[in-house]
Chain A
Amino acid sequence: MAERIEKTLFAAADKMRGAMDAGEYKHVALGLLFLRYVSAAFEAKRLEFAKDEYIDLEDPEEYAAENIFWVPEKARWDMLAANAKSNDIGVQVDDAMREIEKANSSLQDALPKVFGRANLDRAIVTGLIEMFTNLELHGTKSDFDLIGRIYEYFISEFASSEGKRGGEFYTPKTIVSIMVEMMEPTSGRVYDPCCGTGGFFVQSEKFITAHQGEVDDIAIYGQERNHTTFRLARMNLAIRGIFGDLRWNQEGTLTRDAFADERFDFILANPPFNISDWNGEALREDHRWRFGTPPAGNANFAWMAHIHHHLSANGIGGVVMANGSMSSMQSGEGDIRKAMVEQDAVDCMVALPGQLFFGTQIPACLWFLAKDKSNGKAAGGKLRDRRGEVLFIDARKMGSLISGSRKQKELSDEEIAKIANTYHAWRGEEAAGEYADEAGFCASVEVEEIAKHNFILTPGRYVGAGAIEEDEEPFEKKFARLRRELQEQFEESRRLEIEIETRLGGLV
C-alpha cells in the first residue's frame, strides 16, 4: 500500500519531466520535496507550540532547540502553493531556498536554486508543487517516514532512469542491506569516504531503529566529491533527522582527505570502480599505503588502503569492489592483496550475483577489512580471534529479478539474513550459533591455503564442490532455461507472424 504512493508520485513526476534530462530533473523534484518536508515539519511544530502560550511562534531559536528548521514566511509551502501558477514561481522557489539557507546555517549551500532558470519550463515547477501539495500529511512523526521513503524511492528511480550514471550517487538497496546487516553498526563512529546520497547512513539508522537501539549512539562522517550529489546527501539526511558531518572538496577523498586524523568504528563504502585519474602518481609516497603503493592506473586498492587506514582499533570496513580486485595480478595488485592477507587485514570476502546494479551487468564483490582480527566487539559481545583465517561466502547463486524488472536482481530478506548470520557465527557471535562450512556457499580458509591459490580471493575457489565454475551454469539448469526461452521465442514468433500479416493487410 505504502509503496503505491511512492510509485504513483514518481510516475506522475516522471511524466512531467518531458524532454528534460533525468540528471537535472532530479534536483528539481527532490529540491521541492525537501521544501515540502521542511515546511511540514515546521508547521507541525508550530501547531504544537501554539498550545503553549509562553512560546513565541515566530522565534527561530525555539525551533532550533527542537531540531526543526526555521522556515521564513516567504518560504512556507502554503505561500508557494498559493502562487504555484504565477509567472515567477520559479524565482519564488529559488528565493525560498535562499531564505531557508540563510535562516539555518547547517543547510548553507545544500539546497538547489535552479527553479528560476529560463530553460526550466514553469509548468514543471507548478505541476510538482501541486502534486506535493496533494500529498496527504497528518502532522505526525509518520509524515517524515513517508517523505523519507519517497525521497529514497525517487533517488533510486532516478538512478535507474539515468542508467549507468545512476550508480554514482546510489548504491542498490540490496547491497547496502547486506553490508549493514553483516557489520551491525549499532554504536560508534560511521564513515563513508564516497558517500553519494548517503544511503549507507540512512540504512544504518534504520538498522539501529529495527534493533531498538539509540540513533544518537552513532556519529556520522562522510565525504563526497560531486557537489550536486553532496547536496542531495545533505537533504536526505536532514529529512531523516540524521545529523552528520558531511564534507566536500574539489580534489576528492584520496587526494584531500577531509578526516585525515580521524579513526572510525565502521566504514562502509561503494567507491567508483577502476578509476585511473585519481592522482596516483603524485600520491606515491602517501603514508596510507602500508600494503604497497597502489598502481597509478587503478584506484581500487588505494580505496581499500584508505579505508583500512581509517579503522579504529576494533574497526570493521565493508567495501563494494569490482570483481577484478579479487584476482588481478597487474601492476603489483597481486602483491598488495598478498600483503593484506598476510597482515590479517582481510576478514571476509563475499561474491555477489550479477545484475544488482542499474543498467549494468557488472558483477561485484564485497571486501570486509578489520584492523585487528584478534578481537573486536559486535552487538555487545566480544569476537573470537580470527587471525590467520578468512571467511569466503559465495552468494552468486542468490537473488532473483525484481518484479517488473527484466534486468535487475535483488536478494530476499532470508538470503541477506543467511549471509549476515554466517559471518556473525564465524566471528563468534553467540546469538548466531555455531559456524560450519557449507559446500558451495561458505568456507573458512587458512592463510596457508590461500597462499597455494596465489592469494586470489575469489570465493568460488574455496567454497568447494556444489559451487559451479566461474559463470558456468550447470547443464540441468541451463538446458531447462534454454528450452523455456525457446518456447517463449516460438510463441513470440507466432505472435509476430500474425501481427505482420495483419499489418500488411492494412496497407492500401
Chain B
Amino acid sequence: MKTLDEVCVAIVDCEHKTAPKVESGYPSIRTTDIKNGRIDFENANRVSEETYNKWTKRRCPMPGDLILAREAPVGEVGLIPDGAFPVLGQRTVLLSPNCALVVPRYLHYLLLAPHLQHEIKVRSSGSTVHHLNMKDIRALKLPALPTLPEQREIAAVLGALDDKIELNRKMATTLEAMVRAIYRSWFVDFDPVHARTHGLKPAHMDDLTRALFPTRFGDDGLPEGWKMGVLSDIALNPRTGVKPDQIDPNTPYIGLEHMPRKSIAISNWGTAEQIGSQKSAISTGDFLFGKLRPYFHKVGVSPVDGICSTDIIVVRPKSQAWGAMVLSIISSGDFVEYTNLSSSGTRMPRTNWKDMGSYEVVLPSEPIVQVFEDVTSIMREKIIRTIYENQTLATLRDTLLPRLMSGELRVGEAREMAEDVV
C-alpha cells in the first residue's frame, strides 16, 4: 500500500491566481477543461510565453504528467498527451508519476476508478465548496499496485478504447474541415469558375461536376447564372414549442452546455428529467445555432430526436438539397461574426432568426447545390456515427475500468504473454 505522494516524483500546486489570457499561445488547463478523464485543449485559454515562464516556475507540466482538479469539480483528472505543454489553471494540481513505480496511464485510470474517486470525494467534503487539500492529495492511499508489465497491459486495454475515441474525434474534425474547404473553394472563392474562365481544369473535380459550373462571371461579379439572396430563401426556423409536462423524462435534451465551440459534432447531451420550462423539439439532423453570446461559435447537427434549450435556434433547410449549403453558411466564421455584430444586449447578447434570416448569401444553380449535398451529406452522417460509436466505447471503458482495477477481471492471455517475455 502506497500513498499518491510515494508514487510521484513531484506533486505541485497551481498558481493561486488566474493566468492572463491571450489570443494564442500555451494552453492553460482550468478545472472545467478536464472532463471525463480527458483534457480538452481546444477550449482551453491561451497564455503568453511570459506567463508560461512564470506559471511553470515550480515545475513544467510535461507529457505523461497528470493534472488533477481540486475543486469544481473535485477529482477530475487528465493525462497530458505527447507534444502538449500546458500551464496549470487555478485549483488544479500537477502529479508527476515516478515511472519506476507506476505507469502514468495506469495511474490515470486508477485515479478515475470509482473507489478512488469516492476516496477523493470523501476527503473533499465538509465545507460548502467541495475542495481537496494538498495534504489529502499527497496522502491519498492507493491500492496495492500490480507489477509494471501488468500495469502496462491494463492501461493498454483501456487505452485502446480511449485512443479510438480520440481518433474518432479527430476523424470528425477532418471530415468537417473537408466540407468547409469544398464550400469555401466552390462558393466563396469561386475557384472552379476562375479555373474555367482561364480554360483550366478545376482541382479535385470530376467532369460531370465541372460541367455544372459556369465558365465566366456575370456583370454583377458573381459566376454567371448565380444570384444573391438571403438565408431565409433557403432555410427556415421551425418553432415547435414543447411544454415540460408533455415531455418523457428520458427524452434527450441538448443545452448550450452540450454544444462544443467551432465543431458541428455534438457529442453529448442530457435528458429531459430536470426540465422545468418550455423547450423546442428537434429531430436528428437538424441544425442548431447557439443564439446566446453567438461569438462562442456554437453551431452543430443534432445527433438525436429530442428537445433543446430555447437559447438554441433550430435551422432547417427548405429542401433536402440545400442541407450542406445551409449548414456551411451558418457554421462559417463570417456568419457567426455577422450574428455577433447584430445581436442585442451587452452582457448577454443574443441574436434572433429575423437577423439570421436576412444574412446575404450566394445562391448557386440547384444542380451544383445538389452535388455539394450529395458529396458531403455522407460525411455528416459519418460524423454522427462516430458520436454514437464513441458513446459505446466510453460505456465499455467505464464498465471495464473498475473491474480491471479491482483485479476482478484479469488481462489473462496478454499478461501470461508478458510474463513469458519478462
Residues of A within 8 A of B (CB): 18-19, 21, 23, 162-165, 167-168, 272-277, 359-360, 362, 406-407, 475-476, 478-480, 482-483, 485-486, 489-490, 492-493, 496-497, 499-500, 503-508
Cross-chain contact of B98 among A19, A168, A500 (Cβ < 8 A): A19
- Chain A CB within 8 A of B52 CB: yes
Q: Check if A503 sits within 8 Å of B164, measured CB to CB.
A: no
Most buried by B among A273, A275, A475, A483: A475
CA distance A486 to B172 in the complex (A): 9
Q: Check if A496 sits within 8 Å of B167, measured CB to CB.
A: yes
Q: Check if A507 sits within 8 Å of B411, measured CB to CB.
A: yes
CA distance A485 to B171 in the complex (A): 9
Q: Which residues of A contact B164 (CB under 8 A)?
A: 493, 496-497, 500
Which chain B residue shows the least CB distance to A483?
A: B178
Of residues 50 through 88 on chain B, the ones whose CB sits less than 8 Å from some CB of chain A are: 50, 52-53, 56, 59-60, 62, 83, 85
Q: Check if B163 sits within 8 Å of A496, measured CB to CB.
A: yes
Question: Can you report 8 residue pairs joining A to B where beta carbons are below 8 Å apart?
Answer: A475-B181, A482-B177, A482-B178, A489-B167, A500-B160, A506-B411, A507-B404, A507-B409
Q: Could you tell me the dominant secondary structure of chain B's interface residues?
A: helix
Residues of B within 8 A of A (CB): 9, 25-26, 48-50, 52-53, 56, 59-60, 62, 83, 85, 98-100, 156-157, 160-161, 163-164, 167-168, 170-171, 174-175, 177-178, 181-182, 184-185, 189, 191, 203-204, 400, 404, 409-414
Q: Check if B168 sits within 8 Å of A493, measured CB to CB.
A: yes
Cross-chain contact of B49 among A273, A485, A486, A499 (Cβ < 8 A): A273
Say how far B379's CB is from chain A's closest CB, in angstroms: 9
Which chain B residue shows the least CB distance to A487?
A: B174
Which chain B residue shows the least CB distance to A482?
A: B178
Q: Which residues of B contact A503 (CB under 8 A)?
A: 156-157, 160, 411, 414
Q: Could you tell me the dominant secondary structure of chain A's interface residues?
A: helix
Return the 3 tightest CB-CB contacts between A and B, nearest first.
Answer: A508-B412, A475-B185, A476-B203
Q: Which residues of A contact B412 (CB under 8 A)?
A: 506-508
CA distance A485 to B181 in the complex (A): 14
Q: Check if A164 sits within 8 Å of B26, measured CB to CB.
A: yes
Q: Which residues of A contact B99 (CB under 8 A)?
A: 19
CA distance A489 to B50 in the complex (A): 36
Cross-chain contact of B182 among A277, A360, A479, A499 (Cβ < 8 A): A479
Q: Which residues of B contact A496 (CB under 8 A)?
A: 160, 163-164, 167
Say how far A102's CB is from chain B's closest CB, in angstroms: 34
Known interface pairs A486-B174, A496-B160; A163-B60 also in contact (CB < 8 Å): yes
CA distance A500 to B162 in the complex (A): 10
CA distance A468 to B376 in the complex (A): 26
Q: Which residues of B contact A360 (CB under 8 A)?
A: 26, 49, 85
Cross-chain contact of A486 among B175, B189, B400 (Cβ < 8 A): B175
Q: Check if A479 sits within 8 Å of B171, measured CB to CB.
A: no
Q: Check if A482 sits within 8 Å of B181, measured CB to CB.
A: yes
Which chain B residue shows the least CB distance to A500?
A: B160
Say how far A287's CB is from chain B's closest CB, in angstroms: 26
Which chain B residue shows the least CB distance to A496?
A: B164
13 additional A-B pairs beyond A163-B85, A492-B167, A506-B412, beta carbons within 8 Å, are A21-B59, A23-B60, A164-B85, A276-B50, A362-B25, A407-B83, A482-B177, A482-B181, A489-B167, A500-B164, A503-B156, A503-B411, A507-B411
Q: Which residues of A contact B62 (CB under 8 A)?
A: 163
Q: Which residues of B contact A277 (CB under 8 A)?
A: 50
Say how far B93's CB is from chain A's closest CB, in angstroms: 18
Q: Which residues of B contact A272 (CB under 8 A)?
A: 49-50
Known interface pairs A163-B62, A165-B53, A485-B174; A507-B203 also in contact (CB < 8 Å): no
CA distance A480 to B177 in the complex (A): 12
Q: Which residues of A contact B184 (CB under 8 A)?
A: 475
Q: Which residues of B contact A163 (CB under 8 A)?
A: 60, 62, 85
Q: Check if A475 sits within 8 Å of B52, measured CB to CB.
A: no
Which chain B residue shows the least CB distance to A322?
A: B49
Say how far B96's CB is from chain A's closest CB, in angstroms: 8
Cross-chain contact of A19 among B9, B157, B409 (Cβ < 8 A): B9
Q: Which residues of B contact A497 (CB under 8 A)?
A: 164
Q: Which residues of A contact B160 (CB under 8 A)?
A: 496, 499-500, 503
Q: Check if B178 sits within 8 Å of A479, measured CB to CB.
A: yes
Q: Check if A506 sits within 8 Å of B100, measured CB to CB.
A: no
Q: Which residues of B contact A507 (CB under 8 A)?
A: 157, 400, 404, 409-412
Say how far A274's CB is from chain B's closest CB, in angstroms: 6
Q: Check if B170 sits within 8 Å of A475, measured CB to CB.
A: no
